[in-house]
Amino acid sequence: MTDDFMLKPTIRPRRLRAFPAMRNLIAETRVSPAQLMLPAFVRDGIEEAVEIPSLPGVFQHTVESIRALASECVKAGVGGIMLFGIPNTADKDEQGSPAWDPDGILNRGIRAVREEVGDELVVGADTCLDEFTSHGHCGVLTADGQVDNDATLPLYAKMALSQARAGAHMVAPSGMMDGQIAVIRQALDEAGFTDTTVLAYSAKYASAFFGPFRDAVACSLEGDRRSYQQDPRNRREGVFETQLDLAEGADMVMVKPAGYYLDVLADVAEMSPVPVAAYQVSGEYAMLEAAVANGWIDRERAIDESLHAIVRAGADTVLTYWALEYAQRVK
């Protein structure tokens, strides 16, 4: 073998990277607007949409402005919207009863969006008490301040039923209470909502990257949620939690956060017989936007890379605050 041969390779992977059309032709991973869901906030007691300081470009919406946002999502081809409600602080109580009030802010938001878009957009609703409890935890508390798993389950069922009655196509239990999927599925079925989808937050970690979200929903939490959300140091536990939710009847499962848990996401995607979602959380969004604001990274390339990484790891659906923007741009 001559030195001249060694200087002239015949196998050249760069041929398939030479220009954009070629790269697009053979791309292994593609992100479609139809597989994205936009997390969106609807807040009681405001007259116009209010930008969230820690999430630049993301707003707390009125019931009317959330209608307009949903309509924009339809026009852009976004697949779904996930609604979170923010009640007046004075309305919160220890049980989180505004969560299942038919006239509570989240259920009013659900009704408004369904009236606006019908079935052209999947309308999901966060099924958790943390925005509605005076203490900010995802369930009711015992006398010594611990979250009472079993006492919380019937409240989740009431919340899910109220959301289904308001028009949610999908309920999304995110509280990480043991047994929550089975209880919600049974309640929905017994009430005749057999077609309402349950998206289980199956592998939800006690992450530091939820910080801006808690700002967005004006959460009253003191302390942390480490006794019920998963330990970020654990990987196998994510698959185990997913197996439990599948056995209880989850229609879809989720890994949250997404970007820092791609190993868990890949594990779940490999074993799950149902579609897998991943939530690109508020801290992931805020960090990238902060880096952009400082001129450190290319914004569009970084957004695209982050979304493709999540889909490449196995997500069928991605919840991301860039859903509408990305869809409008690629369309």
Tens-digit pLDDT profile for residues 69-99: 999 999 999 999 999 999 999 999 999 999 9
Whole-angstrom Cα distance, residue 113 to residue 109?
A: 6
Q: What is the pLDDT of residue 221?
A: 66
Q: Whole-model pTM? A: 0.94
Q: What is the pLDDT of residue 5?
A: 58
Helix (H, G, I), strand (E, B) or coil at 44: coil
Q: What is the pLDDT of residue 284?
A: 95
Q: What is the pLDDT of residue 4?
A: 59
Q: What is the DSSP string of 243-293?
A: HHHHHTT-SEEEEESSTT-HHHHHHHHHH-SS-EEEE--HHHHHHHHHHHH
Token pair for residue 139?
């369930």
Instruction: Catalogue the active-site residues.
Output: 204, 256
Phi, psi of 131 (to 5 degrees): -70, -15
Please check whether residue 170 is in contact with residue 122, taking contact to mean a CB–CB distance below 8 angstroms.
yes
Q: What is the pLDDT of residue 169?
A: 98
Phi, psi of 288 (to 5 degrees): -65, -45
Helix (H, G, I), strand (E, B) or coil at 313: coil
Whole-angstrom Cα distance, residue 251 to residue 249?
A: 6
Average pLDDT, the chain: 94
CB atoms within 10 A of CB 4: 7
Alpha carbon of residue 296 to chain centroid: 27
Q: Which residues contact 130 (CB under 8 A, 6 or more apart)?
A: 96, 136, 137, 138, 175, 217, 219, 221
Tens-digit pLDDT profile for residues 176-201: 899 999 999 999 999 999 999 999 99
Residue ranges in the chain modelled with pLDDT below 50:
none
Q: What is the pLDDT of residue 145?
A: 86
Q: What is the pLDDT of residue 223?
A: 66
Alpha carbon of residue 97 to chain centroid: 23
Q: What is the pLDDT of residue 205?
A: 94
Q: What is the pLDDT of residue 137?
A: 84
